[in-house]
Amino acid sequence: MKTKKILRTALFVLLALCILGTGAFGVYAAGYARAGESAVSALAAKEAYTVTETKRNIVFTPKEPNGTGFVFYQGGRVDERAYAPLMAHLASAGVTCVVTKMPANFAVFRSNAATDTVGSVPGVTRWYLGGHSLGGAMAASCAAKEPGRFAGLVLLAAYSTADLGDSGLPVLSVVGDRDGVLNRQSYDKYRANLPKGFEEVVLRGANHAGFGDYGAQAGDNEAAMSHREQWQTTADAILGFMENGRK
Protein backbone atom coordinates (compact mmCIF):
# COMPACT_ATOMS: atom_id res chain seq x y z
CA MET A 1 0.00 0.00 0.00
CA LYS A 2 2.84 2.34 0.87
CA THR A 3 4.43 1.78 -2.55
CA LYS A 4 1.14 2.55 -4.30
CA LYS A 5 0.78 5.75 -2.30
CA ILE A 6 4.29 6.84 -3.26
CA LEU A 7 3.61 6.10 -6.94
CA ARG A 8 0.32 8.01 -6.79
CA THR A 9 2.06 10.98 -5.20
CA ALA A 10 4.83 10.89 -7.81
CA LEU A 11 2.28 10.81 -10.61
CA PHE A 12 0.40 13.77 -9.13
CA VAL A 13 3.65 15.74 -8.83
CA LEU A 14 4.64 14.89 -12.42
CA LEU A 15 1.20 15.89 -13.70
CA ALA A 16 1.34 19.16 -11.78
CA LEU A 17 4.78 19.94 -13.20
CA CYS A 18 3.54 19.22 -16.73
CA ILE A 19 0.55 21.51 -16.24
CA LEU A 20 2.71 24.26 -14.77
CA GLY A 21 5.26 23.83 -17.56
CA THR A 22 2.59 24.02 -20.24
CA GLY A 23 1.05 27.06 -18.62
CA ALA A 24 4.40 28.80 -18.28
CA PHE A 25 5.18 28.15 -21.94
CA GLY A 26 1.75 29.43 -22.90
CA VAL A 27 2.37 32.67 -21.04
CA TYR A 28 5.83 32.94 -22.61
CA ALA A 29 4.56 32.30 -26.13
CA ALA A 30 1.62 34.66 -25.68
CA GLY A 31 4.03 37.53 -25.14
CA TYR A 32 5.02 37.62 -28.81
CA ALA A 33 5.90 40.78 -30.72
CA ARG A 34 2.85 41.96 -32.64
CA ALA A 35 2.75 43.47 -36.11
CA GLY A 36 2.81 47.26 -36.39
CA GLU A 37 0.72 49.66 -38.44
CA SER A 38 2.93 49.46 -41.54
CA ALA A 39 2.54 45.68 -41.57
CA VAL A 40 -1.22 45.87 -41.20
CA SER A 41 -1.35 48.36 -44.06
CA ALA A 42 0.80 46.14 -46.29
CA LEU A 43 -1.63 43.26 -45.74
CA ALA A 44 -4.41 45.18 -47.42
CA ALA A 45 -4.95 44.55 -51.12
CA LYS A 46 -2.75 46.77 -53.29
CA GLU A 47 -2.57 47.54 -57.00
CA ALA A 48 0.57 45.42 -57.42
CA TYR A 49 -0.50 42.36 -55.39
CA THR A 50 -3.29 40.65 -53.48
CA VAL A 51 -3.14 38.95 -50.09
CA THR A 52 -4.76 35.63 -49.17
CA GLU A 53 -4.67 34.31 -45.63
CA THR A 54 -5.26 30.70 -44.57
CA LYS A 55 -4.76 28.81 -41.33
CA ARG A 56 -1.22 27.91 -42.36
CA ASN A 57 0.06 30.72 -44.59
CA ILE A 58 -0.20 34.30 -45.76
CA VAL A 59 0.22 34.48 -49.53
CA PHE A 60 1.19 37.63 -51.42
CA THR A 61 0.25 37.11 -55.07
CA PRO A 62 1.64 39.63 -57.59
CA LYS A 63 -0.67 41.03 -60.26
CA GLU A 64 2.19 40.28 -62.67
CA PRO A 65 4.02 37.19 -61.28
CA ASN A 66 7.45 36.33 -62.68
CA GLY A 67 7.38 32.62 -61.81
CA THR A 68 9.54 33.02 -58.69
CA GLY A 69 8.29 32.07 -55.22
CA PHE A 70 9.65 32.85 -51.76
CA VAL A 71 8.70 30.95 -48.60
CA PHE A 72 9.53 32.87 -45.43
CA TYR A 73 9.84 31.80 -41.77
CA GLN A 74 9.23 34.41 -39.05
CA GLY A 75 11.61 35.17 -36.18
CA GLY A 76 10.99 33.55 -32.79
CA ARG A 77 7.99 34.96 -30.92
CA VAL A 78 7.28 37.41 -33.74
CA ASP A 79 3.90 37.83 -35.41
CA GLU A 80 4.23 36.46 -38.96
CA ARG A 81 2.29 39.49 -40.22
CA ALA A 82 5.19 41.74 -39.14
CA TYR A 83 7.07 40.82 -42.31
CA ALA A 84 4.32 42.04 -44.62
CA PRO A 85 6.18 45.26 -45.60
CA LEU A 86 9.19 43.29 -46.84
CA MET A 87 6.95 40.80 -48.67
CA ALA A 88 5.06 43.72 -50.21
CA HIS A 89 8.27 45.02 -51.81
CA LEU A 90 9.04 41.59 -53.24
CA ALA A 91 5.50 40.94 -54.43
CA SER A 92 5.43 44.33 -56.12
CA ALA A 93 8.43 43.14 -58.13
CA GLY A 94 6.64 39.96 -59.24
CA VAL A 95 7.71 37.47 -56.55
CA THR A 96 4.99 35.28 -55.05
CA CYS A 97 5.61 35.33 -51.29
CA VAL A 98 4.36 32.83 -48.72
CA VAL A 99 4.82 33.69 -45.03
CA THR A 100 4.26 30.55 -42.98
CA LYS A 101 2.31 30.54 -39.73
CA MET A 102 4.19 28.72 -37.00
CA PRO A 103 2.68 27.16 -33.86
CA ALA A 104 3.20 29.57 -30.92
CA ASN A 105 5.23 31.75 -33.33
CA PHE A 106 8.21 29.37 -33.21
CA ALA A 107 9.55 27.94 -36.48
CA VAL A 108 11.08 25.01 -34.58
CA PHE A 109 7.57 23.51 -34.34
CA ARG A 110 7.06 23.46 -38.13
CA SER A 111 10.53 23.66 -39.61
CA ASN A 112 9.56 21.68 -42.72
CA ALA A 113 6.64 23.98 -43.59
CA ALA A 114 8.28 24.97 -46.87
CA THR A 115 8.12 21.44 -48.25
CA ASP A 116 4.33 21.58 -47.91
CA THR A 117 4.26 24.83 -49.86
CA VAL A 118 6.50 24.03 -52.82
CA GLY A 119 4.32 22.83 -55.66
CA SER A 120 1.07 23.93 -54.01
CA VAL A 121 1.03 27.48 -55.41
CA PRO A 122 0.17 27.73 -59.11
CA GLY A 123 2.38 29.69 -61.47
CA VAL A 124 5.61 29.31 -59.48
CA THR A 125 8.46 27.42 -61.14
CA ARG A 126 11.40 28.43 -58.91
CA TRP A 127 11.21 28.52 -55.13
CA TYR A 128 13.48 30.30 -52.68
CA LEU A 129 13.40 29.72 -48.94
CA GLY A 130 14.33 32.21 -46.22
CA GLY A 131 13.77 33.41 -42.70
CA HIS A 132 14.64 35.92 -40.03
CA SER A 133 16.68 35.11 -36.92
CA LEU A 134 15.46 31.75 -35.51
CA GLY A 135 13.26 31.42 -38.59
CA GLY A 136 16.36 31.68 -40.76
CA ALA A 137 18.08 28.89 -38.84
CA MET A 138 15.02 26.66 -39.26
CA ALA A 139 14.77 27.52 -42.96
CA ALA A 140 18.41 26.48 -43.36
CA SER A 141 17.66 23.21 -41.58
CA CYS A 142 14.78 22.56 -43.97
CA ALA A 143 16.88 23.42 -47.02
CA ALA A 144 19.69 21.13 -45.88
CA LYS A 145 17.33 18.13 -45.97
CA GLU A 146 16.20 18.72 -49.56
CA PRO A 147 18.40 21.38 -51.19
CA GLY A 148 17.25 20.36 -54.66
CA ARG A 149 13.77 21.72 -53.93
CA PHE A 150 14.99 25.30 -53.71
CA ALA A 151 16.75 27.74 -56.01
CA GLY A 152 18.38 29.49 -53.07
CA LEU A 153 18.34 30.28 -49.35
CA VAL A 154 18.00 33.75 -47.80
CA LEU A 155 19.16 34.32 -44.21
CA LEU A 156 18.20 37.58 -42.49
CA ALA A 157 20.18 38.14 -39.28
CA ALA A 158 20.60 34.38 -39.05
CA TYR A 159 23.07 31.53 -39.42
CA SER A 160 22.86 27.86 -40.35
CA THR A 161 23.69 25.17 -37.82
CA ALA A 162 23.03 22.65 -40.59
CA ASP A 163 25.92 21.87 -42.94
CA LEU A 164 25.17 23.28 -46.39
CA GLY A 165 28.79 23.32 -47.52
CA ASP A 166 28.45 20.68 -50.22
CA SER A 167 24.77 21.30 -51.03
CA GLY A 168 25.42 23.47 -54.07
CA LEU A 169 22.62 25.72 -52.81
CA PRO A 170 23.11 29.47 -53.44
CA VAL A 171 22.91 31.38 -50.15
CA LEU A 172 22.37 35.07 -49.38
CA SER A 173 23.10 36.33 -45.87
CA VAL A 174 21.87 39.82 -44.95
CA VAL A 175 22.85 41.38 -41.62
CA GLY A 176 22.69 44.83 -40.10
CA ASP A 177 25.84 46.38 -38.66
CA ARG A 178 23.81 47.70 -35.69
CA ASP A 179 22.26 44.34 -34.83
CA GLY A 180 22.48 43.85 -31.07
CA VAL A 181 20.56 40.55 -30.96
CA LEU A 182 22.42 38.33 -33.42
CA ASN A 183 25.11 36.28 -31.70
CA ARG A 184 28.17 37.35 -33.68
CA GLN A 185 30.37 34.57 -32.33
CA SER A 186 27.88 31.95 -33.52
CA TYR A 187 27.39 33.80 -36.80
CA ASP A 188 31.15 33.70 -37.48
CA LYS A 189 31.47 30.12 -36.23
CA TYR A 190 28.76 28.76 -38.51
CA ARG A 191 29.92 30.58 -41.62
CA ALA A 192 31.78 27.35 -42.36
CA ASN A 193 28.40 25.62 -42.80
CA LEU A 194 27.56 27.78 -45.82
CA PRO A 195 28.73 26.99 -49.35
CA LYS A 196 31.92 28.65 -50.49
CA GLY A 197 31.22 31.89 -52.29
CA PHE A 198 27.92 32.55 -50.50
CA GLU A 199 26.77 36.15 -50.83
CA GLU A 200 26.87 38.39 -47.76
CA VAL A 201 25.30 41.86 -47.58
CA VAL A 202 25.93 44.11 -44.57
CA LEU A 203 23.38 46.88 -44.24
CA ARG A 204 24.93 50.01 -42.76
CA GLY A 205 22.73 51.44 -40.04
CA ALA A 206 20.34 48.45 -39.90
CA ASN A 207 19.46 46.57 -36.72
CA HIS A 208 17.83 43.22 -35.91
CA ALA A 209 14.17 44.16 -35.52
CA GLY A 210 14.17 46.36 -38.62
CA PHE A 211 13.69 43.40 -40.96
CA GLY A 212 10.10 43.30 -39.75
CA ASP A 213 7.59 45.72 -38.26
CA TYR A 214 7.11 44.66 -34.66
CA GLY A 215 8.66 47.43 -32.60
CA ALA A 216 11.89 47.50 -30.61
CA GLN A 217 13.49 44.25 -29.48
CA ALA A 218 15.26 43.73 -26.17
CA GLY A 219 19.03 43.89 -26.53
CA ASP A 220 18.92 45.44 -29.99
CA ASN A 221 20.73 48.64 -30.95
CA GLU A 222 18.97 51.69 -32.29
CA ALA A 223 18.98 51.74 -36.08
CA ALA A 224 20.57 54.56 -38.05
CA MET A 225 18.24 53.93 -40.99
CA SER A 226 14.46 53.88 -41.03
CA HIS A 227 12.54 50.62 -41.17
CA ARG A 228 11.27 51.60 -44.58
CA GLU A 229 14.85 51.95 -45.81
CA GLN A 230 15.75 48.59 -44.30
CA TRP A 231 12.81 46.86 -45.97
CA GLN A 232 13.66 48.41 -49.32
CA THR A 233 17.40 47.68 -49.20
CA THR A 234 16.75 44.13 -48.00
CA ALA A 235 14.24 43.57 -50.80
CA ASP A 236 16.73 44.96 -53.32
CA ALA A 237 19.40 42.53 -52.06
CA ILE A 238 16.99 39.58 -52.30
CA LEU A 239 15.78 40.56 -55.76
CA GLY A 240 19.38 40.94 -56.96
CA PHE A 241 20.18 37.51 -55.54
CA MET A 242 17.21 35.99 -57.34
CA GLU A 243 18.13 37.73 -60.58
CA ASN A 244 21.67 36.35 -60.41
CA GLY A 245 20.16 32.90 -59.98
CA ARG A 246 18.41 33.21 -63.31
CA LYS A 247 21.63 33.86 -65.19
Kindly state the average pLDDT of the residues 206-219: 97
Under 8 Å CB-to-CB from 191, ≥6 apart: which residues?
159
- Of the candidate ranges 32-36, 153-157, 235-239, the one whose mean pLDDT is the lowest: 32-36
For 52-108, the pLDDT digits (tens) are 999 999 999 999 999 999 999 999 999 999 999 999 999 999 999 999 998 888 888
What pLDDT is attached to residue 31? 55
For 4-19, the pLDDT digits (tens) are 444 444 444 343 333 3
Nearest residue to 108 (alpha-carbon basis) of 86, 82, 140: 140
- Residue 30 dihedral angles phi and psi, to the nearest 5°: -70, -20
What pLDDT is attached to residue 247? 58
What pLDDT is attached to residue 107? 87
- For helices 227-246 and 84-92, give the axis angle rounded to 10 degrees: 40
171 in the Ramachandran plot: left (φ > 0), alpha (ψ -120 to 50) or beta?
beta
Of all residues in the chain, the percent with pLDDT exceeding 70 is: 86
- Its pTM stands at 0.87
Helices and strands (H, E) in the chain, number of each type: 7, 8
For 178-194, the pLDDT digits (tens) are 999 999 999 999 999 99
